[in-house]
Structure 1
C-alpha cells in the first residue's frame, strides 16, 4: 500500500471532483458513542435498580452522650456498563434516623424528579454525621435521648426497601 501512495499513482486533489480528497482518504477516528444513553435504552429500569446495592456502616455500635455518630453510605453499580437510575427527587438519596429523613421533622425535599448516574462498576461513598439532634421546626432542634436508634439510607425511589436500595444499622446512645 505504501508504494502506491509514494509512487504518485494515486492522484489526490481537493479541487477535482473525481479524484479522492485528502480529507476523505484519511481514516476518521472512532466516533464517540454515548454509552450512558445506549445502556439506558437497552437495559430495563428494573434491571438497573437491581444492579445497584446500598450499604450503611458505622465505626461502632455504641456512642456516649455528647458525641456525633459518623456513618458511611456506599452505593455500587454491579454492571459493567454505565447506568442512570430515575429518582423521585432531585436529591437522589437520603438518610434517616428512626424513619425521620435527615433527622428533621421539617420537609425540605423537593417533589421533582431527578436521577443518579453510575459509571460502569462505580462505587460511590458518602460520609455523614448525625449530631444526635432532631429538627422540629425551621430553627429549633431537640437533642435525642439515650436509647437505641436506627440509622438508615436509601435511594429516593418508590419502594426502595423492597428493591434492595435501602440499608439500615442500629446504634445505641448511652447517657454518659
Structure 2
C-alpha cells in the first residue's frame, strides 16, 4: 500500500492548508520544536502479511506553522535503521519542500510493513523475512532527526 497523507480537521477552525500568513512568521527551528510525533503500530506481525502503521505529526502550537524540509520527502520510516525496509537505499530529490500545519492540527501518514527486508540479489531484488524483534521508527524528514520529530515501537515478526 502506498503511504497516504491525511490532514485531520482543525478543531480550532483554521484552514485545511494551514496557509495563514502567521505560519510564515515563525522561524523554522522554533516551528519544528512545536511539533510532536507519534507512531502507532501492531506489536506483532506475521512475515509476508502486510501490517498497517500510522505516523501522526501534531502541531501543538495555538497558531498555524509552516516548516521547511530539505528534500521533497515529508516523512519516512525505517526498520532497524534500514529506510523503508529496503537496503537498496532511496534518495529523494534535493528539492526543498515546505509543509503547513494548522493550529493544533494533525497530519497523519499511513504505511505498511510485512516483516521483510528488500535486498539486492543475484537474480534481482529479493524480499527476505526478518523473524524476531525489530525497531520500527517513523519520522518527519528534517535534515536532523531530533527526538521530538521521531517515534519508535518494537515489533515482533513471527513466521508461520
| Smaller-chain TM-score bracket | 0.7 to 0.9
Tell me the TM-score normalized by structure 1. Answer: 0.71
Q: How many residue pairs get matched?
A: 140
Q: CA RMSD in A?
A: 2.1
Partners of 1:126 and 1:149 in 2: CA distance: 20
Runs of 4+ in 1 over 3 A off after TM superposition: none
SS at match of 2:103: coil
Deviations 1:89-129, CA, capped at 9 Å, x for gaps:
11111111111111112233222211221111111112211
CA contact (8 A) 1:133 1:141 kept: no
Query: 1:159 matched to which residue of 2?
Result: 144
- CA drift at 1:44: 2.2
Question: Higher relative contact order at CA 8 Å, sep ≥6: structure 1 or structure 2?
Answer: 2
1:98 touches 1:149 (CA, 8 Å); kept in 2?
Answer: yes
Structure 1 unaligned runs (5+)?
1-33
Give 1:127's match in structure 2, choosing from 104, 110, 117: 110
CA distance in 2, matches of 1:39, 1:62: 40
TM-score (norm. length: structure 2) = 0.77
Distance 1:110 1:121, change over 3 A: same
Per-residue Cα deviation, 1:46-103 (whole angstroms, up to 9, x for no partner): 2201111111011x31223432222111111111211111112111111111111111
**Among candidates 145, 149, 156, match of residue 172 of structure 1:** 156
Which residue of the other structure, out of 120, 124, 128, is the alignment partner of 1:143?
128
Q: Which residue of 1 aligns with 2:12?
A: none
Give 5+ residue unaligned stretches, structure 2: 1-17
1:96 pairs with 2:81: no
Work out which of the two has the higher radius of gyration on C-alpha atoms and give 1 or 2.
1
Deviations 1:22-64 (A, max 9, x none): xxxxxxxxxxxx96333322x2222201111111011x31223
What pairs up with 1:12-91 in 2 under 5 angstroms?
36-41=20-25, 43-58=26-41, 60-91=42-73
